[in-house]
Amino acid sequence: MNKKVLGIASVVGFLAIALPVSAQHAGGVAAPPDLGELPEVAASEQISSDEIDTSERTIWDGVFTAEQAVAGGALYTKYCQGCHGKTGRGTPGGPGVTGANLNKAWEETSLLDFYLFAHGNMPPGNAGRIGNEQDYVNIVAYIMEMHGAEPGESKLVWNEDQLSNIYIVRKPRD
Ligand code: HEC
């Protein structure tokens, strides 16, 4: 074992001892989950093409595909559900990311802001490390589906022009 590996091993060992103790004293805040081996994350370029829909839309306009929500759901279950709950309504370890909480915290903001928050902060301690940018976009699609939005024909992609033009608004009454 070289020095670097030893260094990492001792940090991991320290965390394993330190985490349960801090969790006990954090008063209801869940400890970061043990993520095990993180996948290799290939840096991804923004996806751009003339076919990407960058028109102004809301999350209720069928802005993601059913297929990508399934892909995002697998990641959500593994890395997010422990704190945000099976339907995204929150747990003592994390606020709701769907329903009334989503409306309250994110109304009138764009999916770009929502994505940037998730990619930049989640999961705590491993922000941006559980997948590439498109993987996080797929998680966003899944969260919107849990919130009640229907999938559609066009894919939600890692493209700032597209994401910044899709707004989180309350569900329109039919
Ligand atoms: C260890 C618990 C934990 C895990 C795991 C976790 N979160 Fe969070 N999340 C939190 C906490 C605590 C907050 C509130 C922090 C804040 O607002 O700064 C939060 C806030 C959020 C918010 C903003 C919610 C709001 O209403 O403001 C989003 C979106 C979010 N998380 C998405 C995710 C996603 C996506 C994942 C999985 C990749 C994830 N979280 C994993 C604990 C967690």
Q: What's the one-letter identity of residue 5?
A: V
Give the pLDDT band of residue 39 (cuts 50, 70, 90): low
**Inter-residue contact 105 to 95 (CB < 8 Å):** yes
Distance CA 72, CA 144 (A): 11
Summarised one tens digit per residue, pLDDT across range 111-147 is 999 999 999 999 999 999 999 999 999 999 999 999 9
pLDDT of residue 86: 97
Whether a cis peptide bond, with omega within 30° of 0, leads into 123 is yes
pTM of full prediction above 0.75: yes
Class of domain 54-174: mainly alpha
What is the distance in A from the centroid of ligand 1 to the CA of 81?
10
Least confident range from 6-15, 16-25, 39-48, 113-122: namely 16-25
- Going from N- to C-terminal start, the domains of the chain cover 1-31, 54-174
Return the DSSP state at 165: T
Task: Return the ligand 1 atom nearest residue 125 CA.
Answer: 1
What is the distance in A from the centroid of ligand 1 to the CA of 104?
15
Give the pLDDT band of residue 20 (cuts 50, 70, 90): very low
- Token readout for 27 is 């008063």
Summarised one tens digit per residue, pLDDT across range 61-104 is 999 999 999 999 999 999 999 999 999 999 999 999 999 999 99
Name the residue with the closest Cα to ligand 1, atom 29.
118
Residues at CB less than 6 angstroms from ligand 1: 30, 32-33, 79-80, 82-84, 93-95, 97, 101, 105, 117-118, 122-124, 130, 139
DSSP SS3 for 15? helix
Say how many C-beta atoms besides its own lie within 10 A of residue 161's C-beta: 13
Q: What's the one-letter identity of residue 23?
A: A
Query: Closest by alpha carbon to 101, among 122, 112, 117, 87?
Result: 87
What is the distance in A from the centroid of ligand 1 to the CA of 95?
7
pLDDT of residue 45: 74
Distance CA 60, CA 17 (A): 46
What is the distance in A from the centroid of ligand 1 to the CA of 33?
12
Give the pLDDT band of residue 55 (cuts 50, 70, 90): very high
